[in-house]
Structure 1
Amino acid sequence: MAGFVTELWESIFTPGPTPTLLIATNVTFAALQLVLAALLFATYSIHFVVLSVLSGSLWAAINWFARELLEHQGQEEEKARHALAAAPLALNSEDSETEVEGTGASTASLGRGEPAAAASAVSHEVEPVEPAGELKHRLVLEEPSQGAKSSVSTEDEWEKVSENENEKDK
């Protein structure tokens, strides 16, 4: 039972209808229908019939929606599998007309190995990026002996600046 409760708690944060969540939903609605039936027999009130119909309709709608959602997820997974299966074929296609940078040769002609000189003309060197400036950690002004990193936010810093300006004006 503890395992079911743990799975139920985790399934709440999992997108989509999980089997544990569907079981809990169906058990809860079945218990509600039993309570409404018991109240109907105890009081003979039409209100419990109406509540039972509403509850049953909601129960059926939730189960229908969960089935539709699972079917849609299955279709999306199938589309993803087909896309992954077709992706290597598209990459290996010799009909591509993408040009290689710095040359007029297309990847189709490079794929067939016709102009080998064009393939060697492409530079494979990486240019280093020069750093724009160094990042420095600011120290907390209140406790300079500890040398701790500043955890003061920008808003707090602006408040300090405005307080200093107010003191200068006085």
Structure 2
Amino acid sequence: MSFFVELWESVFTPGTTPALITATHASFILLIISLLVLIFLTKSIHFINLLVIAVLLYASVFWFINELQQVKLQSNNELSQKELEKESESEKLSANATESSQTTATSEDIKLRKRKV
């Protein structure tokens, strides 16, 4: 029974967990086995097509799981900290831009005053 509890808890955990991977592989293997049995019993082209679709879907899910395991997932705290750093950098840049525009405006004012005199 602990496998099902672990599987349920893996729904709320970011990334992939061993229970989720095991359940995914088991469900696809059972699907493929049942389709093979149906192909053997009925020899229907429809079940062959479904088997091809299931195998391709299983391959793509397997690839996606491997890609997720290679990527380092970040927690919410890390993401919010990065957002705060980006906001502070953008505020500094905007403050520098307004200061430079003010100094530019004052130098232009000086040039205009010199011309008037």
Pairwise TM-score range, normalised by the shorter structure: 0.5 to 0.7
The one-letter code of the counterpart of 1:14 is T
Counting matched residue pairs gives 75
Alignment-derived partner of residue 24 in structure 2: 25
What is the Cα deviation at residue 62 of structure 1? 0.7
What is the Cα deviation at residue 15 of structure 1? 1.2
Alignment-derived partner of residue 82 in structure 2: none
What is the Cα deviation at residue 13 of structure 1? 1.3
The CA RMSD measured in Å over matched residues stands at 1.6
What is the Cα deviation at residue 72 of structure 1? 1.3
Matched, 1:63 2:65: no
How much identity, in percent, do the aligned residues show? Answer: 44
CA distance in 1, matches of 2:13, 2:47: 34
What is the Cα deviation at residue 54 of structure 1? 0.6
Alignment-derived partner of residue 36 in structure 2: 37
CA distance in 1, matches of 2:3, 2:15: 18
Deviations 1:100-134 (A, max 9, x none): xxxxxxxxxxxxxxxxxxxxxxxxxxxxxxxxxxx
Alignment-derived partner of residue 48 in structure 1: 47
Alignment-derived partner of residue 14 in structure 1: 13
Structure 2, unaligned stretches of length 5 or more? 79-117
Q: How does 1:106-121 map to 2 (within 5 A)?
A: none
Q: Which protein has the bigger helix share?
A: 2
CA distance in 2, matches of 1:26, 1:44: 26
CA distance in 2, matches of 1:17, 1:57: 21
Query: Displaced runs of 4+ in structure 1, greater than 6 A?
Result: none
CA distance in 2, matches of 1:55, 1:13: 26
What is the Cα deviation at residue 70 of structure 1? 1.0
The one-letter code of the counterpart of 1:22 is I
Alignment-derived partner of residue 3 in structure 1: 2
The one-letter code of the counterpart of 2:38 is L
What is the Cα deviation at residue 27 of structure 1? 0.3
What is the Cα deviation at residue 5 of structure 1? 0.5
Deviations 1:66-121 (A, max 9, x none): 111111127x7xxx9xxxxxxxxxxxxxxxxxxxxxxxxxxxxxxxxxxxxxxxxx
CA distance in 1, matches of 2:11, 2:67: 19
Alignment-derived partner of residue 86 in structure 2: none
